[in-house]
Chain A
Amino acid sequence: MSLDIFLQHFFNALTLGSLYALIAIGYTMVYGILRLINFAHGDILMVGAYFVFFGTFAFGWPWGVSALLAVAGASVLGIVVEKAAYRPLRDAPRISALISAIAVSFFIESLAVVVFTGQPRPVLQPEWLVSEWQLGGVRILPLTAFVPAMTMALVVILLYIVYHTKPGLAMRAISKDIETTRLLGVKVDNIIALTFGIGSALAAASGIMWALRYPQVHPYMGIMPGLKAFIAAVFGGIGSIQGAVIGGVTLGFVEIMTVAFMPDLSGYRDAFAFVLLVLVLLFKPTGLLGESMEEKI
């Protein structure tokens, strides 16, 4: 394999891994706080991508403006989902919230089919992201550098919020002991809403960049990335943001590199993630950075 080709694979893997990582962060943050797998998370990604499609094609806004508004819109949608479907079940058994999450996922997908139709739609790709760079004989798509760079910037901002701000302190406290955190005066509902808002914004960012890479949107586009990112979050240790990033990038590399080095296996590409999930659950159920989750009494 020539260096040129290898580097292309490398950047592809980094891009795919970054996209998984951004989605995985949302799963892991919500799970860390509520012990809930938010199955609707992948669908938020889809809605974010659709918002950009409408922004650019229907309203003719520039891509950047559409993307920013789409992220904001998806963030609001995430908060609405939490308020409508999870908050009323906060004191119910955990399985009820889980079922509610599955219902929300189907609801958003079906609604998207009704409103947007099931027809895949093409997505506008800004010229500067898809015109190849020539770097001394190596050809790189700017997109494959833009996505990891954007991801890194978003993760840095997120870590700053979580570790250096007051709401971040409250998030970290809630993840261990929601009742005590409430006793200390934290308006827990607001912090949970904020968590959903941030997670959904990151999912939308991922969905928007996903739609650049595979330039179309359709109502079910969120399902597979959502599942894979969930696996990435479990692999990294669900509940840990750093784990989600590591898990996402690892999964991206596993998928791209296996196919790159063993092209015969390319038909099994989607299976790798699930094999990885089985292995993690068998040998290290808490994932790379996860803590053992003792049941809270």
Chain B
Amino acid sequence: MLEIRNLHVRYGGIQAVQGVSLRIARGSIVTLIGANGAGKSSIIRSIAGLNKTVEGDILLTRREGDAPVSLMGLKPEEMVRRGISLSPEGRRILPHLSVEENLLLGAYSRSDSAGIARDMAWVYELFPRLKERSWQKGGTLSGGEQQMLAVGRALMSQPDLLMLDEPSLGLAPLLVREIFAIIRRINAEGKTVLLVEQNAFAALSVANYAYILEVGRVVLEGSGRELLANPKVKEAYLGG
């Protein structure tokens, strides 16, 4: 449903992404693995429309059989309206707004109040703890709860493609498992997922397909299972 062709991203004089091409199949979980600075976040932020100095092409096919449409040059608020949603790195919860307000903000691009209410109920079902805390300010939540809120908020725009930037960052192992279980479930309910992770083992375990990035280039790709078994990957990313 999304294809990236020969993507280059520059920040000042630094080439963060140097000619990356990748495909995200509808209904799959795709993950980008790599060390800090490998360009994972730059790619995901480019898809979300946050990077301005981008070359190459990003093509979206919203419905099966449609002609692919280029997303280059669109603003973040326009990406959301095309079914692409990002839960950013560091969660970026609005600390002074309540949990409920954070979620409503996620649905800002929509005006179907019945649909918004349905999705709100769905997010509360996925994350029962958010429901208990719906009137609490976002800033008072624990790290794990904030991550859940960030994912729930990204779901509120009714995306076809949900992008998650480091959802397990800074979470306790138990919570990491919980988050990955939820990612599987969201995928099973029909959302395509693009996952950026440093936790390679967990990410490869849920992913249908994975790309490994080093200094702005794809160095290896394959199904999650293949890469989990690959000796090079084991050595570099899975702790031997």
Q: Which residue on chain A has the smallest CB distance to residue B86?
A: A183
Instruction: Check: A35 CB closer than 8 A to any chain B CB.
Output: no
Q: Which residue on chain B has the smallest CB distance to residue A176?
A: B94
Asked if residues A176 and B95 are in contact (CB atoms below 8 Å), the reply is yes
Contact of A186 (CB < 8 Å), options: B50, B77, B86: B77
Q: Which residue on chain A has the smallest CB distance to residue B80?
A: A185
Q: Which of A170, A183, A186, A188 has the most CB of B within 10 A?
A: A183
Q: Which residues of B contact A173 (CB under 8 A)?
A: 94, 97, 105
Asked if residues B97 and A185 are in contact (CB atoms below 8 Å), the reply is no
Q: Which residues of A contact B77 (CB under 8 A)?
A: 182, 185-188
Asked if residues A185 and B81 are in contact (CB atoms below 8 Å), the reply is yes
Contact of A177 (CB < 8 Å), options: B80, B81, B94, B106: B94
Instruction: Check: A181 CB closer than 8 A to any chain B CB.
Output: yes
Give the distance in Å from the alpha carbon of A173 to the alpha carbon of B104 in the complex: 11
Q: Which residue on chain B has the smallest CB distance to residue A187?
A: B77
Give the distance in Å from the alpha carbon of A184 to the alpha carbon of B126 in the complex: 20
CB distance from A60 to the nearest CB of B (A): 43
Q: Which residues of B contact A166 (CB under 8 A)?
A: 104, 108
Instruction: Check: B88 CB closer than 8 A to any chain A CB.
Output: yes
Asked if residues B106 and A184 are in contact (CB atoms below 8 Å), the reply is yes
Instruction: Check: B101 CB closer than 8 A to any chain A CB.
Output: yes
Q: Mark A172-207, 1 if CB is under 8 A from B, else 0.
A: 110011011111111110000000000000000000
Asked if residues A182 and B96 are in contact (CB atoms below 8 Å), the reply is no
Contact of B105 (CB < 8 Å), options: A179, A184, A187, A188: A184
8 Å CB interface, A204-263 against B: none
Instruction: Check: B68 CB closer than 8 A to any chain A CB.
Output: no
Q: Which residues of A contact B101 (CB under 8 A)?
A: 169, 172
Asked if residues B76 and A170 are in contact (CB atoms below 8 Å), the reply is no
Q: Which DSSP category, helix, strand, loop or mixed, fits chain B's interface? A: loop
8 Å CB interface, B71-91 against A: 75-77, 80-81, 86, 88
Give the distance in Å from the alpha carbon of A1 to the alpha carbon of B105 in the complex: 55
Give the distance in Å from the alpha carbon of A185 to the alpha carbon of B158 in the complex: 11
- Chain A: interface residue count, which band? 10 to 19
Contact of A185 (CB < 8 Å), options: B50, B88, B96, B109: B109
Size of interface on B: residues with Cβ below 8 Å to A: 22
CB distance from A158 to the nearest CB of B (A): 18
Task: Say yes or no: A170-B96 contact (C-beta < 8 A), given A183-B88, A184-B157, A188-B77.
Answer: no
Give the distance in Å from the alpha carbon of A185 to the alpha carbon of B80 in the complex: 5
Instruction: Check: B92 CB closer than 8 A to any chain A CB.
Output: yes
CB distance from B41 to the nearest CB of A (A): 13
Q: Mark B149-162, 1 if CB is under 8 A from A, else 0.
A: 00001000100000
Contact of A184 (CB < 8 Å), options: B75, B95, B108: B108
Give the distance in Å from the alpha carbon of A170 to the alpha carbon of B97 in the complex: 11
Q: Which residues of B contact A170 (CB under 8 A)?
A: 105, 108
CB distance from A192 to the nearest CB of B (A): 13
Q: Which residues of A contact B96 (CB under 8 A)?
A: 172, 176
A-B CB proximity, top 3 nearest: A185-B109, A185-B80, A180-B92
- B positions within 8 Å CB-CB of A: 48, 50, 75-77, 80-81, 86, 88, 92, 94-97, 101, 104-106, 108-109, 153, 157
Between A and B, 23 residue pairs with Cβ closer than 8 Å are A166-B108, A169-B97, A169-B108, A170-B105, A172-B96, A173-B97, A173-B105, A176-B94, A176-B95, A179-B92, A180-B88, A182-B75, A182-B76, A183-B50, A183-B88, A184-B80, A184-B108, A185-B76, A185-B77, A185-B109, A186-B108, A187-B77, A188-B77
7 more CB-based (< 8 A) A-B contacts, given A182-B76, A185-B77, A185-B80: A169-B97, A173-B105, A177-B94, A179-B50, A182-B75, A186-B105, A187-B77
